[in-house]
Amino acid sequence: EDQVTQSPEALRLQEGESSSLNCSYTVSGLRGLFWYRQDPGKGPEFLFTLYSAGEEKEKERLKATLTKKESFLHITAPKPEDSATYLCAVQAGAASGSARQLTFGSGTQLTVLP
């Protein structure tokens, strides 16, 4: 059974204080690891897809990295507008070769204080 664990559950940072969010996963045949941002009352907003260990992707103040067991979302010099819940999800490949559905972690609620 695919499992995704995110830590910490909640994180409060001062503006400009860099930090990292963790996503540990157990999945057979990883096809992709996804990071989403979700604001209250809205659907998840796609941030990154990582496909293989060693891969890194960046977008503004965010950088996502992937190893064989976990992924990190690094936030550099965060601003209050980065406050949101960050969700990690994995997708495994099915025996037929098609993709299975996403398995989500419980999320990290990030609050950046001005």
Partner 1 sequence: GAVVSQHPSWVICKSGTSVKIECRSLDFQATTMFWYRQFPKQSLMLMATSNEGSKATYEQGVEKDKFLINHASLTLSTLTVTSAHPEDSSFYICSARVVDRPYEQYFGPGTRLTVT
Residues near partner 1, by CB under 8 A: 31-32, 34, 36, 41-46, 49, 51, 87, 91, 98-99, 101-102, 104-107, 109
63 contact partners, CB below 8 Å, separation of at least 6: 56, 57, 73, 74, 76
Angstrom distances, CA of residue 62 to CA of 17, 40, 58, 95, 114: 13, 20, 6, 34, 18
- When the beta carbons of 78 and 105 are compared against partner 1, the nearer one is 105
- When the beta carbons of 13 and 48 are compared against partner 1, the nearer one is 48
- When the beta carbons of 38 and 76 are compared against partner 1, the nearer one is 38
- Write down the least CB distance from residue 46 to partner 1, Å: 6
- When the beta carbons of 12 and 16 are compared against partner 1, the nearer one is 12
Distance CA 90, CA 77 (A): 27
Say if residues 57 and 71 touch (Cβ distance below 8 Å).
no
- Write down the least CB distance from residue 82 to partner 1, Å: 19
